[in-house]
Amino acid sequence: MDVVAKPGSTPPAAPRKLFTVLDLDGRVDPESDPKLDAALVKRIYEAMVRTRLVDARLLKLQRQGRIGFHVGSEGEEAAIIASTAALRDDDWIFPCYREWGAALYRGFSLQAYIDNMYGNGNDVVKGRQMPDHIVATGVKFGSITAPIGTQITQAVGFAWAAQRKREAIVTASYFGDGATSSNDFHAGMNFAGVYQVPTLFLLRNNGWAISVPTEQQTHSRTFADKGLGYGVTAMRVDGNDALAVYSVTRSAVERALRGEGPTLIELVTYRAGAHSSSDDPSAYRVNLEVDEAARRDPLRRLRAYLERHHAYSAADQVALEERVQAELNVCIERAEAAPAPSIESMFEDVFEELPPHLREQRDECVNGPRAKRH
């Protein structure tokens, strides 16, 4: 499974064939089976289902005009959740805008996430960011920012600092195939390769960078091969196979902890839904492509595996869905009842002591006439 290069050497090309454990019907390849504990697999599966149910509900809320925006991860749940599960609790995640499910898996509260979607007074970022742009440092999940690829250099810098301090920390940076054309991807990969930084580059190749297909994104043989020029070991894995994703990610963590440097993991998956609630994918892709990709649905495959091993039932599924919907109902009700962020909060969190000219602006803003809401 591993494609390993010694520090300072040139790694071999990543194989074209995807590393896979599960077939489309949930049967296991005994040679690649990581033999995970059934309780862990069930936890991963339930987190994947929870993510998809939250996705569907938030899209409805956006269409109803109750929230302004949403970035979903339908079809990419295994790539996100299973890789997160393979990290250790002390490892830091530097996410794109599609990995909020990873924060929930790590324990970030659903209420806090829903508050962010509404940008209310309880929002962790106080309504200053667009929805889905959370920060969850309590679960070692960095701030989500909109510019493409910036989290890559952040992850590398954090890991390099930990390395110099002799702290056994690995960082994981998630990004899409479109981000491989960004400046930060090249800067981050080069730095990590030169200094053998313990960073995992988790590249979700979901077929599309909004409306740009992968074949127009690069002329390289595979996205994993982009690691070659930087001396970074690379792997290609079926991103819709949760067991394969877990296995490859865990192997990369162990490599990093042994001092063998970074790994680029191309998670070949598919974006089943729109890029965001502002996107209409029917304008640039055909239904046949979507239907074909549905055969590889990560939830269906992992549930089939659990059922084959008598670790999950239809009753379990119903109970899970009812539990998630009930939790969502409570969170939405509380979020909609919460007040808006205070006006004075706009002036907080930048200066330890607010300068006089900003104090004057704050007071004028708070005490001055307010526009009427319609």
**pLDDT value at residue 106:** 98
Q: What does the block give as tokens for 208?
A: 């599309």
**Average of per-residue pLDDT across 247-276:** 97
How far does the chain reach from its first CA to its final CA, in angstroms?
60
- Contacts of 54 by beta carbon, 8 Å cutoff, 6+ apart: 101, 104, 110, 113, 324, 328
State the catalytic residue, choosing from 258, 284, 309, 359: 284
Catalytic choice (98, 255, 271, 301): 271
User: Is the model's pLDDT at 4 over the cut of 50?
Assistant: no
pLDDT band at residue 3 using 50, 70 and 90 as cut-offs: very low
CA distance 160 to 192: 8
Dihedral (CA of 57, 60, 66, 70) sign: positive
pLDDT digits 0-9 by tens, 191-245: 999 999 999 999 999 999 999 999 999 999 999 999 989 999 999 999 999 999 9
Tell me the mean pLDDT in the region 258-277.
97
- What's the pLDDT at 77? 98
C-beta of residue 115 within 8 angstroms of C-beta of residue 338: yes
> Could you tell me which residues are beta bridge partners of residue 141?
93, 136
Task: Specify which residues 351 forms β-bridges with.
Answer: none
User: Alpha-carbon distance 211 to 170, whole Å?
Assistant: 33
- Under a CB-based contact definition with an 8 Å cutoff, are residues 45 and 312 in contact? yes
* pLDDT category of residue 2 using cuts at 50, 70 and 90: very low
Residues 6 or more apart whose CB falls under 8 angstroms from that of 314 comprise none
Residue 90 has pLDDT above 60, yes or no: yes
pLDDT the model gives residue 370: 75
Instruction: Compute the average pLDDT of residues 131-156.
Output: 95
Dist CA 21 CA 241 (whole Å): 7
Q: What per-residue confidence (pLDDT) applies to 358?
A: 95
Residue 71 has pLDDT above 50, yes or no: yes
Report how far residue 272's alpha carbon sits from residue 294's, in angstroms, rounded to the nearest whole number. 8
Query: What is the C-alpha to C-alpha distance for residues 248 and 254, in angstroms, rounded to an integer?
Result: 10
CA 135 – CA 139 distance, rounded (Å): 9
- Is 271 considered catalytic here? yes
The residue annotated as part of the active site, out of 275, 296, 301, 303, is 275
pLDDT at residue 150, as a whole number = 97
CA-wise closest residue to 198 among 143, 230, 242, 161: 161
Cα distances (Å, whole numbers) of residue 287 to 275, 298, 299: 15, 19, 20
- The half-sphere exposure of 212 on its side-chain side, counting CA atoms within 13 A, is 11
Edge to edge, the sheet with strand 171-176 lists 92-94, 171-176, 199-205, 263-268, 233-238
Say whether pLDDT at 133 is over 80: yes
Cβ–Cβ < 8 Å for 222, 263 = no
pTM higher than the cut 0.85: yes
For 51-64, letters b (16+ CB in 10 Å) and e give bbbbbebbbebbee
The pLDDT of 78-93, averaged and rounded, is 98
Q: Tens of pLDDT along 272-310?
A: 999 999 999 999 999 999 999 999 999 999 999 999 999
| Domain locations along the chain | 38-338
For the domain spanning 38-338, the CATH number is: 3.40.50.970
- Annotated catalytic residue 50: no
User: How high is the pLDDT of residue 81?
Assistant: 98
Among 11-20, 149-158, 264-273, 358-367, the range scoring the smallest mean pLDDT is 11-20
Q: Which of 189-193, 200-204, 268-272, 361-365 has the lowest mean pLDDT?
A: 361-365
Helical residues (DSSP H) of 141-294, grouped into ranges:
150-164, 183-195, 242-257, 287-294
- 275 annotated active-site: yes
Q: What is the dihedral of CA 348, 351, 357, 361, to 10 degrees?
A: -10
What is the Rg, in whole angstroms, of the alpha carbon atoms belonging to the chain? 21
